[in-house]
Amino acid sequence: RIVAERTGGKILIACPLGVTKQTINEAAKLGVPVRYVRSQAEADAAPEALVISNYDMVIKGVFNPNRFTGIVLDESSKLKAFTSKTKRYLIEAFRDTPYKLACSATPSPNDTKELGNHAEFLSIMSSGEMLTRWFIRDSMKANEMRLKNHAVKDFWRWVTSWAVCINKPSDLNPEYSDDGYLLPDLDIHYDLVEVPLERLIADSADKKTNQLSMLPSINNSAVTMFAEKRATLGDRIARVAEIVRAHPDEPILIWHLTDAERDVIAREIPEALIVTGSQSMEEKTDRLEQFSDGRARIMATKPSIAGHGLNWQHCGRVIYSSISHKFEEWFQSVGRSHRYGRKGQVHVHLVYAETEESIVRSLHEKWRKHEEMTEMMVKTMKESGLENDIKHQMQIDIERREVKTDRYHVVNCDAVEEIKALPDNHIHLSVSSWPFSDQYMYSANVRDFGNCDNDEDFFRQLDFLIPELLRVTVPGRVAVVHAKDRIVYGTKNSHGNMYIEPFSDKCIRAMVKHGWLFMGRITISTDVVRENTHTHRLTQTEMRKGGERMGIGMPEYGLVFRKLPTAGNGTMSDEPVTNTPEEYSLARWQVDANSHWRSSGDRLIYPWEREAYNYDAHIKHLEDLDEQGRLSRSSMSEPIPSDNPLVWWDIRRQDVLNGKVARANGDEKHICPLQLDFIRRCIERWSNKGDRVLDYFAGIMSVPVVAIETGRYGIGFELKPEYYDIGARYCHERAYEKELPTLFSMDEECETCEVEVEGKKNLSA
Segment 669-694, tens digit of pLDDT: 222 234 687 888 899 999 999 999 99
Radius of gyration of the chain (CA): 34
**736 and 603 in a common domain:** yes
Examine the fold and report which residue of 119, 141, 171 is the final residue of a domain before the chain moves on. Answer: 171
Q: How far is CA 355 from CA 18, 201, 213, 450, 609, in A?
A: 35, 11, 12, 48, 43
Does the pLDDT of residue 603 top 50, yes or no?
no
Of the spans 57-61, 477-481, 550-554, 618-622, which averages the highest pLDDT?
A: 477-481
pLDDT for 358: 86
**633 and 486 in a common domain:** yes
Using a pLDDT cut of 90, give the percent of the chain over it: 38
**377 and 455 in a common domain:** no
Which has the higher per-residue pLDDT, 327 or 662?
327
Does the pLDDT of residue 585 top 50, yes or no?
yes
**47 and 111 in a common domain:** yes
**668 and 562 in a common domain:** yes
pLDDT for 213: 59
Determine, yes or no, domain membership for 350: yes
Determine, yes or no, domain membership for 395: no
Using a pLDDT cut of 70, give the percent of the chain over it: 74
Task: State how far the Cα of 526 lies from the Cα of 681, in Å rounded to an integer.
Answer: 17
Determine, yes or no, domain membership for 758: no
**240 and 362 in a common domain:** yes
pLDDT for 6: 93
**343 and 405 in a common domain:** no
Cβ neighbours of residue 397 closer than 8 Å, sequence gap 6 or more: none
**282 and 361 in a common domain:** yes
Determine, yes or no, domain membership for 764: no
pLDDT for 759: 40
Q: Read off the pTM.
A: 0.60
Determine, yes or no, domain membership for 348: yes
Which has the higher per-residue pLDDT, 453 or 266?
266
pLDDT for 636: 58
Q: 259: domain CATH number?
A: 3.40.50.300
3-state SS, one letter per residue, for 152-221: HHHHHHHHCCCCCCCCCHHHCCCCCCCCCCCCCCEEEEEEEECCCHHHHHHHHCCCCCCCCCCCCCCCCC
**113 and 191 in a common domain:** no
Does the pLDDT of residue 619 top 60, yes or no?
yes
- State how many domains the chain has: 3
Examine the fold and report which residue of 171, 197, 216 is the final residue of a domain before the chain moves on. Answer: 171
Write out the residue range of the structural domain in which residue 360 sits: 186-384
Does the pLDDT of residue 272 top 90, yes or no?
yes
pLDDT for 626: 75
DSSP states of 85-129 as a string?
HHHHHHHHHTTT-SEEEEE-S-SSSS-GGGHHHHHHHTTS--HHH
The pLDDT-based confidence of 753 (bands split at 50, 70, 90) is very low
**223 and 369 in a common domain:** yes
Determine, yes or no, domain membership for 101: yes
pLDDT for 720: 86
Cβ neighbours of residue 119 closer than 8 Å, sequence gap 6 or more: 125, 126, 127, 130, 159, 162
Task: State how far the Cα of 735 lies from the Cα of 701, in Å rounded to an integer.
Answer: 13
Q: 28: domain CATH number?
A: 3.40.50.10810
Task: State how far the Cα of 684 lies from the Cα of 221, in Å rounded to an integer.
Answer: 54
Instruction: For residue 346, give the 3-state DSSP assignment.
Output: strand
Does the pLDDT of residue 220 top 70, yes or no?
no
**334 and 409 in a common domain:** no
Helix, strand and coil percent figures for the chain, each rounded to 5 = 40, 15, 45
Q: Mean pLDDT, to the nearest integer, of 128-146?
A: 65
- In degrees rounded to 5, what are phi and psi of residue 501? -95, 125
Instruction: For residue 716, give the 3-state DSSP assignment.
Output: strand
Q: Is the distance from CB of 412 to CB of 724 less than 8 angstroms? A: yes
Rounded to an integer, what is the distance from CA 171 to the centroid of its chain?
30
Q: Kind and range of the H or E element at 541?
A: helix 540-545
Instruction: For residue 524, give the 3-state DSSP assignment.
Output: strand
Determine, yes or no, domain membership for 390: no
Q: 462: domain CATH number?
A: 3.40.50.150
Q: How far is CA 225 from CA 260, 323, 325, 399, 454, in A?
A: 14, 10, 10, 56, 44
**145 and 291 in a common domain:** no
Which has the higher per-residue pLDDT, 480 or 78?
480
Examine the fold and report which residue of 113, 145, 171 is the final residue of a domain before the chain moves on. Answer: 171
Q: How far is CA 436 from CA 482, 672, 718, in A?
A: 10, 21, 16
Determine, yes or no, domain membership for 444: yes
Of the spans 243-252, 494-503, 585-594, 645-654, which averages the highest pLDDT?
A: 243-252
